[in-house]
Amino acid sequence: MSDQDVDLERRRFLTISTSVVGGVGMAAASVAGIMYWTKSERALALGAPTVVSISRLKPGEQMVTLWRSQPIWLLKRTPEMLKELVRLNSHVKDSMSDESELQPSYAKNQYRSIREEIFIVIGICTHLGCSPRHKKAKELGADWGGGYLCACHGSKFDYAGRVFNGAPAPSNLKVPKHHFHPDNPNMVIIGVDPKDEGAKS
Ligand code: FES
């Protein structure tokens, strides 16, 4: 692989900085810039939802934001990534998200998401809390269709955060409460359930 290919790959999984941490009411106007808070505002924000725009996210790209000091990954999955998830059903420990405390009810499916193409997850390994890294297809062998590797003890996760069989991590990555803004499908509010949980976001 050339240096240019490596750069391109890095760019696709670029950490787009956490531009917004704030209340639901701050929404779109707040997305463009980093905000500065007083001490008490910061304390309040620790428990507040994070509002983030995914309008610039292209298929195959991932961005990272913060919610309650935890890294939140927002991945726009390609049709190939979704197809790979179906193929992997028998290779992962909990393919249908039976462990209910790991995701809200509206993300309890093989894609672990509200919208199939948008995957939102807390990027912290369920073994001992390291943060897994993205590994693109073939990077971990001919059979590897892309996903995440926690280098600490070797746990692997697919593009739905499902842990592979035999990994030390006991369970899938955790999906936070979230919903899409009812008037703007590109606006995600992390930390709050949809008004009508289980129904459309
Ligand atoms: S912390 Fe991830 S495998 Fe141990």
Mean pLDDT across the chain = 82
Task: Determine, yes or no, domain membership for 151.
Answer: yes
**pLDDT tens digits along 32-76:** 333 444 455 555 566 789 999 999 999 999 999 999 999 999 999
Distances (CA, A) of 135 to 29, 89, 129, 171, 176: 34, 19, 18, 19, 22
Distance of CA 147 from the midpoint of ligand 1 (Å): 15
What CATH number did the domain enclosing 112 receive? 2.102.10.10
Task: Provide the number of structural domains found in the chain.
Answer: 1
Atom number of ligand 1 nearest to Cα 169: 3
36: closest CA among 26, 50, 21, 46?
A: 21
Task: Determine, yes or no, domain membership for 83.
Answer: yes
Q: Which domain does 18 fall in, by range?
A: 3-190
* Ligand 1 pocket list (CB less than 6 A): 125, 127-130, 150, 152-153, 155, 168-169
